[in-house]
Amino acid sequence: MKKLLFLAVLMGLTGCGETDQNDTSQSTLQSSTASVNYRMAASSSALSAPSFGQWVVNDYASEGASTVVNASRMVGGVATESKALITPNVSQVSKILRAGLGGAALTFAVDELLDGIDWVMDPANNSVKFKTEIEGIKQYKGLGDSLFDTAEEYCSWRLNKVKSEAYPDSSLRNITISSNGTYGTCWIYTYSPVYAVDFGFDIIKIKKIEEKNLPFDVVSQEIINNAEIGNTDAQAVTLAAAQTMVSEAENDATKAKEIEDEFERNSDEKCKNHNLKMNSKAAMVEWRYEELYKDRFNLYINHKEVSNPFILNGNNKGSWDGHVSQYKYAQGVLRATIKTASNAGCPATPKANYWVNKEPPSQPGLHS
């Protein structure tokens, strides 16, 4: 039986991104849009090729963000070849990132999202950590060097100080605050409703450094986007995710049957290319559906209308309504692909048939 090498690759994360993980056995995953070359690392071992029924996997080839799995079988001395299309979703790509894979694709995707801000891997929290400078934060300074986040906090502190030091036996009524944008005053009313003690404070604008997390799922979505448009580093990651899915499917009867059935359908020379195209377009619809369902950028709440898109470090991430339109457009492309296949005498694949008319989620976390 043909042997395949399934490589777990830790590629160097240098430049803007770093990692605090130390892996002393590294190997390199290489890919192109047509094929993948496997290299044996010192710690790698040859594994039997996955098989599904009579079909034995021969190799893999990237196609956008999907992976074509080539297989063959020998029955009665007659060799037959077939293909299946595997399309990893965001969660499956994130699984690869958690394992330490990503390399150039990870660095490129994070730099796109963060616009070159320095970052560091944080696998324990399934995220990338980065620090950002927030300008124009207002703080309030009165007596001494203490800074307060709001005028109310400063005046409340002043009120307690007055109670404890100047008027321990008095009934301090309330506080009013006045300001002109750069300077303000706390008016603390004492035992007389018309008598107040006033304390001035400065309003200072400062720059504040804040540590944030960029979830792996957001990075994975960017890697999938880049793989879809032909970035070979990103395709190496989606291909690794597809390999993992194929390997895991061997031990899952339901998933194994789905792959075996696809090999069977695609052994038909007349329809195999139509089947692959339909499943590829269906995968795009599924990907759009997951974007809406998970709503990683909280578009539904904060950026629902097309006229109010979410901008992340200069990158337009769109709006909820815009994503719904993209979902329906992807369904239209799938519908046209199914029609072309039907005209050639090829029925819609189960995956294409499922996604072509499925309604988008009406809101995040709610399946249609």
pLDDT at 340 over 50: yes
Residue 322 has pLDDT above 50, yes or no: yes
pTM over 0.85: no
Question: Which tens digits make up the pLDDT trace of 10-19?
Answer: 233 333 443 3
Name which residue leads in pLDDT, 21 or 231. Answer: 231
Cα 11 to chain center, whole Å?
20
| Both tokens assigned to 302 | 């904060």
- Determine how many CB atoms are found less than 10 A away from the CB of residue 47: 11
Q: Exposed, middle or buried: residue 84 (CB in 10 Å: 0-12, 13-18, 19+)?
A: buried
- Angle at which helices 320-343 and 272-294 pack, to 10 degrees? 170
Dihedral sign, CA of 300, 304, 306, 307? negative
| Average pLDDT, integer, range 325-351 | 96
Could you tell me which of 10, 39, 31 has the C-alpha nearest to residue 231? Answer: 31
pLDDT value of residue 70 = 96
- Pairing relationship of beta strands 315-316 and 119-122 according to DSSP bridges: unpaired
Average pLDDT over residues 12-30: 34
Evaluate whether 52 touches 256 at the Cβ level (below 8 Å): yes
CA 184 to chain CA mean position, Å: 44
| Distance of alpha carbon 94 from alpha carbon 224, whole angstroms | 10
pLDDT in tens, 240-290: 999 999 999 999 999 999 999 999 999 999 999 999 999 999 999 999 999
| DSSP class of 25 | -
Look at residue 21 and tell me whether its pLDDT is greater than 60: no
The set of residues, in sequence order, having a beta carbon less than 8 Å from that of 273 and lying 6+ positions away, is none
Q: What is the mean pLDDT of residues 140-146?
A: 74
- DSSP alpha helix (H) spans, the chain: 90-98, 103-114, 151-165, 216-228, 232-249, 253-266, 272-294, 299-302, 320-343, 350-355
pLDDT, residue 263, reads 96
Token digits for 190? 């004492």
Could you tell me how far CA 239 lies from the centroid of its own chain?
17
Q: Which of 72-86, 189-203, 266-280 has the lowest mean pLDDT?
A: 189-203
CB-based contact 23:8 (threshold 8 Å) = no
Question: What integer best gives the mean pLDDT of the chain?
Answer: 81
Q: What is the pLDDT of residues 96-141, one digit of tens each?
A: 999 888 889 999 999 888 887 889 988 888 899 998 877 666 777 8
Write down the pLDDT at residue 194.
56
Q: Give the integer Cα–Cα distance in Å for 246 and 57.
A: 9
More confident residue, 240 or 161: 240
Which helix (H) or strand (E) covers residue 81, if one does?
strand 78-86
